[in-house]
Amino acid sequence: MRHDLSILLHPGLFALLESRERKQSDMLLLAAAFAARSGAIIIDGGNHFNAYMVIQTVRLNTIDLASLDKLQIARAFNCHQVVALAQQIPLDGRPCLLIDILDLFQDDNVLFDHRVYLVKKLLNRLTIIHRQAPLFVSLVAPKEADSQWYFMANLIRKESTQTLEEGFMGKTLPTINQIIQRAEVILARFSRIQQVQERSAIDSLFISAKKHIAAISEANHLIPFEAAQQAMLLEQQKEIIGLSEKLRELEDRLENA
């Protein structure tokens, strides 16, 4: 079920999403929706913020990617930083998203009693925040049963004012791999009526596309999809130039024959 954001956007809201998926599609789609509206403050507690997905979602609604500047994003690396970042959230009415907020509280190097203290301190700050702006918090349960995690999660559940169902933002965008796989399936249906040269050109195109996707996945920083598209176009242009040179050579031979 997809919610109307205009209904959700009001001070006093403390919405809790308990998700089974670590990629946090709902929270990312929510961030993209806020980018086109009021903007949002985002704290990533589990290294889930996929900027590519947010950019692609924003691009579906506007060509002006400057709206992404409305998103203020911070990533925490330990449970103490989660609390510290929450303390720094300005009370200016912008929606706040805390993604997988208990992930970093599963730290055996920090005494459980102290982690509970930090969760309570965090909740005190979140209470102040959601009085001024809508607040969205997501939790992802650990793969194995963890009584300490569930105890801390219950503290957050008690403070929330609304529970959101997984998938409340609707369908997610397909990945680049999925788009290419679908294109391959569609074109394969016409392979019997294609000429040998056409099939060879199409196969080469998909091989090139997959190489670029592999390079993107191995990069240590975000590479815009446009960069991959540009690289593919450059390769095509190189091939066109090569074919043009061969054509000129053939024309010269015909003239000299």
Identify the residue with better confidence: 107 or 247.
107
Identify residue 29 by its one-letter amino acid code: L
- CB within 8 A of 193, min separation 6: which ones? none
Structural domains in the chain, sorted by start? 5-164 (3.40.50.300), 176-256 (no CATH)
**Amino acid 88: pLDDT:** 95
**Highest-scoring range by mean pLDDT, 13-22, 144-153, 194-203, 246-255:** 144-153
Nearest alpha-carbon partner for 5 in 49, 42, 46, 35: 35
Nearest alpha-carbon partner for 136 in 24, 21, 56, 55: 24
User: What gap in Å lies between CA 71 and CA 202, rounded to an integer?
Assistant: 39
For the cut 90, the answer to whether the pLDDT of residue 179 exceeds it is: no
- CB within 8 A of 27, min separation 6: which ones? 17, 19, 48, 97, 99, 136, 138
Nearest alpha-carbon partner for 94 in 138, 44, 51, 132: 132
* Residue listed under structure tokens 């609390």: 83
85-111 pLDDT per residue, tens:
999 999 999 999 999 999 999 999 999
Alpha-carbon 70 to chain mean position: 16
Share above pLDDT 90 across residues of the chain, in percent, rounded to a whole number: 40
**Highest-scoring range by mean pLDDT, 2-16, 20-34, 152-166, 201-215:** 152-166
Torsion of CA 65, 71, 76, 79, to 10 degrees: -150
Judge whether 13 and 162 are in contact, CB under 8 Å.
Answer: yes
Structure tokens belonging to residue 78: 């330990």
- How much is the mean pLDDT over the chain? 81
